[in-house]
Structures are given as C-alpha cells and as structure tokens.
Chain A
Amino acid sequence: MVGCVVAELGHFALILASLVALMQIIIPAIGVFLMWPKWMHLVHAAALLQFFLTAIAFAALTQAFVQSDFSIALVANHSHSAKPLLYKLSGVWGNHEGSMLLWVLILSLFSALIVWFGGALPIRLKTLTLSVQAAIASAFYAFILLTSNPFERLAIAPFEGMGLNPLLQDPGLAFHPPALYVGYVGLAVSFSFAVAALLLGEVNAAWARWVRPWTLVSWVFLTLGIALGSWWAYYELGWGGWWFWDPVENASFMPWLFATALLHSATVAEKRGCLKSWTLLLAILAFSFSLLGTFLVRSGILTSVHAFATDPGRGVFILAILIIFSGGALALYAWRGSMIVSDNVFAPLSRETALISNNILLVVAALVVFIGTFWPLVAEIIFGRMLSVGPPFFEIAVTPFLVALAMLLPLGSTMPWKTASTAGLRHLWWVFLSAVLCGTVVLFLDNAHSTLGALGLALAVWLAAGVVADLAKRAGMGRGGIRAALWRIFNMPRSEWGKSLAHFGLAVTIAGISAITAWESEDIRLAETGDQYQISDRYALRFDHLGLVEGPNYQATRASMMILKDSHEVAQLFPEKRFYPVSGMVTTEAAIEMGFLRDIYVVIGDSQADGRVTVKAYIKPLANWIWLGAIIMSLGGLTSLLDRRYRLASVGRSRPRMTPSPALER
C-alpha cells in the first residue's frame, strides 16, 4: 500500500518539477535583461528545487521497480519479481519511459552542479545558462508527462511482470545507458552556455574555460558509454563483433565526434582567443546531434517496424524539440555570431592550424556518418530507391578522415602556439622511423599477408611514440640532467598529462582495431566430445564434455573445452547455449579466455542428430586493447578535469601569473 502512495507522489513531484522549470526559464531571464538581481538569484533555488523534485520522482519509480509494484504499467511490462536486484534497478532505465526520466534527472543534476560549483561565474551568464537548461528540461518534462508517463497505472494489476529481455540482464548493459546519458546531457550544458553567451553577446577566453570542464565530463562519459556498449556486443552476441555501424551506434558516435572537436576548439578559444565563434557553433551542434540521436532511436524512423519503442507520436514530439532548440540556437548564432570577433594572429604552421585541421576532420567524419545513416531514408523518399548503407560503406567513407586525423596528431600536438618551425618537429623523426620500422617488421613477420594491419600498427606506434617524444621534449631531456627533467615532467599541468594519456589511449585503441581486423582467425567445424584439433597455428582445442545445466531462469547446454598450447593446458572454457522458457529466447554465451595479446573466443551452436555440435573458435589478437584504449582516453579526460585552472570553485579568483609584454602577446 505504501508503494502505491509513493508512486503517486513521484508523479506529483514530476509535475511540480516541470512547473518549477517553467518558472526557472522566465523569471531569472527577465531579471537578467532588466538587471534585477533578486529575480536573477531566484534561479539558484529553482534549479535546486527542480533537481530535488525530479530526484523524488526517480526514487519513487525505483522503489516501484524494487518492490515490483505491478499496478504500474511500466513495471508490469519490464520487470519480474524473481529478477536479481541489480536488474530490477537497471530495469528502471531499461525502457523508454524510465530512460527519459533518467535523462531529465541527469539534466537537473547538472543544473544543480552549476549552482554548486559555478560560484565564480558572472551572475548574468550563470543565470541565463540555467534558464536555457530549464527550457530544455521543460521540453522533456512535457514529453514525459504527455507522451511517456512512467507512472501510468493499470486498471487491473497483474500478479507477475513480463520480465526483462535476457540479453539485457547483463552488468555491462546495466551501466551502458546511464553512462551515455551523462554524456549527452553534459553536452546540453555546453549548449546552454553557448546560447547564454550568444544572448549576452560576450564570449571571451574565460567563457571557453568555464565550458571546457562540462564538455570534458560529457566526453569522458560518452567514451566510457560507447566502449561499454561495444564490449557488451563483443562478449554477448556470439561471434565477437564490436562495432556494427548500426544507426543506434552512429547516434552515439556522432555526438562523440562533435564533443571531441569541441574539446579541441575550446582549447584554442581559451588559450589563444581564436575560434570563439566556431566553438559556440560546435557546442550547439554537439547537443543538436545528441537530440538527433534521441530522435533517431525514439522514433524508430530508420529501423522499420521492429524498432524498439516505435511510436510516431513520440518521434514527432522529439523532432519538434530538436527543431525548436537546434533551429532556435542556430538562428541566434546566425544573428549574433558575427558579434564575436577573434583578434589573435597565428602562422599557417602552428598549433592553431593543427587544431583547426583536427576540427575539420572530426566534423567531416561526423557529417559523413550522419549522411550515411540517413541516406536510406533520403534515397527512398526523394529518389525512390530502396537501399542499405552498411558497414562496408562506413569503413571506406569514414575511416580515411580518422586515419588522417591520427596521422596529423603527433605533429599538431607538439607544435607551439602561434608559430611553429619545421626545426621544432625534428624530434619526430625517430618517432616516424620507429613507426616505419614497426610496420616493416610486422609486414615481414606476417609474410605481407595484411598490409592494412601493418599500416594500422605503424600508425599506433606513430601516435604512442609521438606522445613519448612530446613528453621527452617537454621534459627537456639532456638539459640540466635527469633530475631537472623529471622535475619538469612531474610539474607539468594536469591537463597536459590528460592530453598525453588521451592520445596514448587512442594509439592503444587503433592498435587493437588494426590487429583484430587484420589477424583474427576462426575455426568452424562439427565436433564431438573427445575430439582434439588445432584451432590456429599455436592453439589446439580439446572437447571434454557436453552436458545440460539448469540455470536460475534458463536451461543451458554447456560444453567443457580445454585450450592447449604446445600440448600444455592453457585454459578451460565453458561455452553455453541457453534457452529462456519465459521469453522463449535462445542465447549463446561465448566463453572467452582473455589475454593481453589475444582473446580465445569459443561458441557452441546446435547439436546435430549424430551428437556432434558446431564449435566456433576464434583467436582475436589485441581485442582488449580496443576498450583498454577507451579507458585510457577517459582517464586522460579525468586527469585533465583535475587541472588546477578548471577547479570550478576557484574560477575567476585565479589570475594569470604573469602578464606577457604586448609584443609577445601579438
């Protein structure tokens, strides 16, 4: 009984939150333009109250899931009383309505964080930013309350829920959506800052510095979220695919590309006062592409009849939100953007130019992903052609830009601001040579079997050694002895460490992708217990046992296999084929022997009449490097976030330590 009241309270809190958000848009904004401080200050209380109310609503829904209150339609449709607690909790956001509630919860949390940590922000900028945040929140409250109410009741409550899809009952997938959401919603903060700055007509270096931490948080979570999703696909789907260029994946990849571009252009805006207008535009675009992703997934427009949560009403609503916010912000940009002038000078060969190239390549890559994702729709509506755009297209159309980006990276990241000389890049010679050497050695060992693989590894070495060379140069190796060098390197700003880590992580990911793409081997055959055979040049597989296992909510055929290397036992693996009677679904549980240099990945298929079973064994070289690299990149982002100059509370108090003479500044 208590549960029922709590759910109603949650619903009520959500309605109240939407009203508070409406107030948070209007009153402070009036305060800003009429210069009424008291009206402006109202924004703090409103933002905190809105967060508090949304948190109550979310807690109420969580409670309904934990207590299995099946009188709520959402719980009845997506939960089951016998589910483990973790999946009852992840069930809260494992559906459309709950995930939208999580979305606004994170948005209002970010607003509260701006209140808590934005103490030193100019009051007008902060107030307007929070107003824009509230405007976005209002649109989503309306969306939830009008089209996707999570608290909707059933007239007659069922005794048991329908359960959650077994594929989704996985720790990797439990945290994949929240991580991505923090990423998307963080981009809303950058968007709000950009719109507020445009309304005020002031963008300076300080603005770029205030926006950067939020973009960094968002980027870190996007990176982790995408990596988690990819890792889940790898171990759960049964043959170790890790990226499919699926529209749903592209929907998360495009904002990531824009966020990456935004991080880099904000550096230029902050340090050099150039590209300010472009940075604003990127902030607007990055969030617009998050909204576009929402539209893409929520409307099911690209995924035909079977799409998850297909509902045209919702699709149109999100399209309206997208048009109002992105269109509005872009119109504002067109109107006010030209007011923002950059006044600094730089040479064609300089870090500025390098970072512009970075931005161009990232944005062009994102646009190609965008066009490729929507092309089937365009082709059908405009040209009357029914066609598909799949991985083979994206691989040839997007990869070149990303490869070019990686090739330029070590050059650009080591160049000084304003003007660089080719002499300053001399230390990259040995980096280049080691990359070429590595590529050649790999090509030789591989008998020139995969040129692309060798090139990919050479590229990874070029990046990784580039990072090391850059650090060595900064440490001034050979000047003033080892101690001085070490002192210099450990006193580098944290953001510099962050940059090195992130770039190194990219190298690791590139190595992983290259190796798994070029040298994956597979062995597919029918086998029976007692068989022993080579699955690659180095590894053999011994099929020991096949039996039935009873799981908590499934039955499984489980094989027991021994992996041998030079007739030494390396690992025992238990691949399964599971049957879930409740949903009638069959899933394959791959057994993976993870290693630093390779994964051994074994899957079993159906049993034949003669008792033999399909056994697929894959050797996946450097597989884990793909996600390891992503983790290193995220750590880089976090390190950068801890940089002294981004400590939000101290923003504004810190003064530049020295004022360069005007001659130097120009």
Chain B
Amino acid sequence: MMMFAGLKWILLGLTCLHMAQAVEPDEILSNKDLESRARDISQNLRCLVCQNESIDESNSPLAADLRALLREQLQEGKSNEDIYQYMTTRYGEFVLLKPQPSGSNWLLYLSGPFFMFIALVAMGLYVRQRQMVGIKGHAPLTEDEERELQAITSQRDSKD
C-alpha cells in the first residue's frame, strides 16, 4: 500500500552506502563498441546485495567489481553469451534480470501469449454470439421498413 516507488533506494542508501555511484569514469572502456555492449550487459545483471537493481545502477562495491569483471572479459574477446554464462555459473540464475527461457520459466514467458489466445477465443465467441442474438431474436425487416430505416440513418449521419 505504501507506494513509495523508491523505497528500495532508501534501503539501498543504508545497505549500499559509503561508495561512489554506479558507473565510474575510470571503469569506462575506450573502445566505444565494447563499452556500449558492457552497458547493455550490465543492465541485465542484478546487483546481488541490493534490491531489484541492476549492476549498472548500483553503487555497491560488488556491482563495481562485476562491472569491471565483465569489461575485462569483453576485452578478452568473449561474447555476450559467454559472459552471461560465466555470471550464471558463478552466481546462479538469480543474477539474470531477464530469466532464462528454459524449463519452468516457459510458463512465465508463455503466460502472456496464452492469456491473449484464450481472451481472443472468448472474444470471438462472444462477438459471434452477439450477432446471433440479432439474427435469431428478430424478424428481418420488410422492404418498406428497410427503406424507412435507410432514410432515417442517412438523415442522422448527415446530422452528425
């Protein structure tokens, strides 16, 4: 209920205190491509000692170490996949902010499409039923009525 959107930050202020903040100038790689890949990867890795924060945003020393580590690996020529793999073996899948699409996690990934499918089927049936009510419930209009209706609707349309 207390929707302090940033409460975690307050706690962070307590747990991840006394240090510099997030990405520091001395960490940045001179190679721009590698650096942008590094930023990309660090946004997908969780700071393990903070709450729900990526190592890109975190001020904790552990996050700083991980940022340095992944930059080292990038410079060694490792691929993004290699690095995620390395981090996962070292810290468990907890470190990934985007869960691996594997095993039980498919339930998570397919939940959206699944709900959407169910909803579309239900909608299709409902919309069809709404039309059927019309067909079953009422006798078709006679030609005169049809003409009258046409007149009324065209008159109304021009008013709109």
With A388-B97, A606-B20, A614-B24 in contact, do A664 and B3 touch (Cβ < 8 Å)? no
Q: How far is the CA of A225 from the CA of B109 in the complex (A)?
A: 30
B23 CB contacts on chain A under 8 angstroms: 524
How far is A348 from B129 in the complex, measured between Cα atoms in Å?
10
Most chain A CB atoms below 10 A, which of B18, B23, B98, B126: B98
Q: Which residue of B lies closest to A181 (CB)?
A: B1
**B interface residues, how many (CB within 8 angstroms):** 69
Provide a sorted-by-A list of 24 A–B residue pairs whose CB atoms are within 8 angstroms.
Answer: A99-B1, A173-B4, A173-B6, A180-B3, A229-B5, A244-B5, A248-B7, A308-B2, A308-B4, A346-B130, A347-B131, A353-B123, A360-B116, A363-B119, A367-B112, A371-B108, A391-B97, A393-B98, A474-B160, A603-B21, A606-B20, A614-B20, A663-B149, A666-B138
Cα A345 to Cα B129 in complex, Å, equals 9
Report chain A residues within 8 Å CB of B67.
Answer: none
**A247/B52 in contact, CB under 8 A:** yes
Question: Which residues from chain B contact A244 at a C-beta distance below 8 Å?
Answer: 5, 8, 52
Asked if A353 and B127 make an inter-chain contact with CB atoms under 8 angstroms apart, the answer reads: yes
Bound together, the chains give a CA A274 to CA B7 distance in angstroms of 42
Inter-subunit contact A168/B4 (CB<8 Å): yes
**Is A223 an interface residue when CB atoms closer than 8 A count as contact?**
no
**Which residues of chain B from 45 to 93 have a CB within 8 Å of any chain A CB?**
46, 51-52, 54, 57, 92-93
Q: A239-B57, A360-B119, A385-B93 are in contact. Are A229 and B4 (CB under 8 A)?
A: yes
A526-B25 contact in complex given A347-B131, A360-B116, C-beta closer than 8 Å: yes
State the CA gap A230–B127 with chains docked (Å).
39
Bound-state Cα–Cα, A303 to B52, Å = 8
User: Is B94's CB under 8 angstroms from A383's CB?
Assistant: no
* The one of B54, B92, B138, B158 that contacts A390, using a Cβ cutoff of 8 Å: B54
* Complex partner residue of B51 from A180, A225, A304, A526, CB under 8 angstroms: A304
**Residue ranges of B at the interface with A (Cβ–Cβ < 8 Å):** 1-11, 13-15, 17-26, 28, 43-44, 46, 51-52, 54, 57, 92-100, 103-105, 108-109, 111-112, 115-116, 119-120, 123, 126-128, 130-131, 133-134, 137-138, 141, 145, 148-149, 152, 158, 160
Select which of A297, A367, A390, A584 is within 8 A of B52 by beta carbon: A390
B-contact bits for A457-476, CB 8 A (1 contact / 0 none): 00000000000000000101
The majority secondary structure among interface residues of chain A is: helix
- Size of A's binding interface in residues, CB under 8 A: 96
- The CA of A387 and the CA of B98, in the complex, are separated in Å by 9
Contact in complex: B13, A389 (CB < 8 Å): no
The interface centre, meaning the residue of A360, A363, A372, A387 with most chain B CB atoms within 10 A of its CB, is: A387
**In the complex the two chains form, is B51's CB within 8 Å of A306's CB?**
yes
Interface centre among A226, A382, A392 (most CB of B within 10 A): A392
